[in-house]
Every structure is written in structure tokens, then in C-alpha cells.
């Protein structure tokens, strides 16, 4: 059966919350901090305007969801002493938001604002790369992967980042997604990000992301300060990058044009994830287990990102019962 990413009707939403949604599907990392979080709801498909909600326990949350059957449900990444007033901030998750419709170099034929299995697969590839850097370079362990409905949220709850400032989070994001060209004049050989002493693999990490972006460019791609001739030559010689022959690629492009290309790629990499979400200490995110009503998909905690397929693992039952 072909899964169509179309809006859920009011009836389908009611059926989902009445017969399928289970409070036990809300991840433990949310339930364990339930009383410290702010919740928000969208009841009419116009955005989360029902804010500052709190729940003393999972039973109260269950009752609310069963009665209200919201268009969308959200919870804060922040923990507060007084979540109902959003006062007494204690700490916040570090979040990477990868939305398939906003991937800067998409290889599918989707119209703006649309998603398909191809760009969702591309978003998953990006999330896997982010996860590798978080674990391998930064040594983070409490990493939760969420399918959001049209993309993925990476939610990190290690203590070393939970209390970090917006400025530090911005630096971490730049490092993780290869969005800043490495300063090769740094003779110290490492970057110091407060809690993290990162071995000077910055250049290697930046190169990995640049390779990913360049290999996904098409003739229709638009890059700042990159003219048609440079783009064509990039596509012509990028096969060298498949074997990591950067010297050959740079030699055919030319050093001046190569530097211009790499600067443009760094700006593209910056838009791989929504940086505003990562640095916002008071952001609310879609509540895992709930319905993304615009596409009729479940926001789902992913147990195994390698094998996860949203078209198998995040489809509500009512979608299979639709009559064309």
C-alpha cells in the first residue's frame, strides 16, 4: 500500500487518540521529567497557542490527550522550577532539528514544503552523521532519536550540554555539522568548547560534511557566489571525492575557485539543521508518540535508527483503513 502524506481529518484524529495513542509510548526521558516541563498544544491547526500547560503525572497527561485530541502536542526542551510560568530555568536538552522539507540540497522532485520517501531518507542519512559526531568526537551518550513526522529530532540529555549557554550550543552546532571552515593557522591543534577538548579533527569533520554536500549537488543547485561555470566544473570533477582525492579535485577546480566553493558549501552546511532550535533554551518540540496531523504520521521514538523506516514504523492505523 502506498502511504500518502496527507492531512488527517478531524474524525481520523479522534480515532487515533481514542483507539491508538498510549501514554506509555511517551519516552521515559519526557515522563521522568514531566513535572519540570512546559507543554503546549495546537487545537485548530494554527500553531501552538495553548501554552504554559503542566501535568503532575502521566495519568493527567493521558486524560488531557484523550479528551482534547489535539491537532498537535508539544513539550519544552527546558526544565523549570516553575514550568507553568516558564520561570526558574534549570537546564535544556541540546536539539538538532532536521526537517526533510528544509534539507538544503534535496535530490528528490518535491515541491517546496513537501516531503517524500527520498528526502526523508536523505534526512535520516544526515541524522546518522550527526549522531556519529556527537558520539565519536564529543563522547556524548544520552542521545535520543525522534521521527517528528516530516523529519528528525536529535535530543541530547548529557549533563555536559544540558546546562550550556546558547553561545556554546551555537559553537557545538557549527562543529557537528561542519558549518565553519577550519582555522588551519591554529597551531594548538585543538578547539576548546568549555566542557569539551576536541582533538583537531575539525578539518576532517568539515571535509566529511563538505564531501556530502558536494556529492549531492545538482545542476539546479544554487550556491552563493558560485557561478554556473564553477558549478558545472564541480559536478564534472566531483568523482574524485568519492575516493577522497581532494588534491585532484582542487587541482582541477583551481585553488581560488576551490576556496570560493568551500566557503559556499560551509554556508549550505549551516542550514542542514535548524540552528535556531539548537540555541533556543526555551523551545518546545513535538511530543513523541503524538500525531503530526498535517501528514498523518506519528512522532516516534526510534529504537534503532539503522533499521527505522517511517513508512513502516510511524504510520497510524487509520491510514491503512482509508478508502481511496
Catalytic residue annotation = 97, 99, 274
- Between helix 228-237 and helix 246-253 the angle, nearest 10°, is 150
Amino acid at each position: 500500500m502506498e502511504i500518502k502524506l496527507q492531512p488527517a481529518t478531524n474524525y481520523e484524529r479522534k480515532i487515533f487518540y481514542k483507539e491508538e495513542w498510549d501514554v506509555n509510548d511517551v519516552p521515559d526521558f519526557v515522563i521522568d521529567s514531566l513535572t519540570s516541563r512546559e507543554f503546549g498544544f495546537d487545537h485548530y491547526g494554527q500553531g501552538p497557542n495553548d501554552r504554559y500547560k503542566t501535568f503532575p503525572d502521566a495519568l493527567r497527561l493521558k486524560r488531557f490527550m484523550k479528551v482534547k485530541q489535539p491537532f498537535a502536542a508539544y513539550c519544552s526542551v527546558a526544565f523549570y522550577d516553575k514550568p507553568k510560568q516558564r520561570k526558574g530555568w534549570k537546564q535544556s536538552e541540546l536539539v538538532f532539528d532536521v526537517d526533510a522539507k528544509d534539507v538544503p540540497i534535496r535530490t528528490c522532485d518535491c515541491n517546496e514544503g513537501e516531503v517524500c520517501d527520498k528526502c526523508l531518507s536523505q534526512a535520516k542519512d544526515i541524522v546518522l552523521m550527526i549522531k556519529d559526531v556527537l558520539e565519536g568526537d564529543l563522547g556524548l551518550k544520552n542521545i535520543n532519536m525522534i521521527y517528528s513526522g516530516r523529519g528528525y529530532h536529535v535530543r541530547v540529555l548529557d549533563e555536559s550540554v544540558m546546562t550550556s549557554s546558547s553561545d556554546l550550543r551555537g559553537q557545538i552546532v557549527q562543529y557537528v555539522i561542519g558549518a565553519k571552515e577550519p582555522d588551519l593557522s591554529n597551531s594548538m591543534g585543538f578547539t576548546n568548547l568549555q566542557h569539551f577538548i576536541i582533538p583537531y579533527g575539525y578539518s576532517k569533520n568539515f571535509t566529511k560534511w563538505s564531501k556530502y554536500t558536494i556529492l549531492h549537488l545538482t545542476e539546479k543547485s544554487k550556491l552563493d557566489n558560485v557561478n554556473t561555470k564553477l558549478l558545472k566544473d564541480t559536478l564534472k570533477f566531483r568523482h574524485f571525492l568519492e575516493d577522497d582525492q581532494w588534491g585532484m579535485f582542487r587541482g582541477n577546480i583551481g585553488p581560488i575557485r576551490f576556496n570560493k566553493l568551500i566557503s559556499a558549501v560551509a554556508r549550505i552546511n549551516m542550514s542542514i539543521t535548524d540552528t535556531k532550535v539548537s540555541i533556543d533554551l526555551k523551545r518546545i518540540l513535538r511530543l513523541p508518540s503524538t500525531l503530526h496531523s498535517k501528514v498523518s504520521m506519528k512522532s516516534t521514538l526510534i529504537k534503532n535508527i539503522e533499521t527505522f523506516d517511517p513508512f513502516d514504523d510511524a504510520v497510524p492505523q487509520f491510514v491503512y483503513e482509508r478508502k481511496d
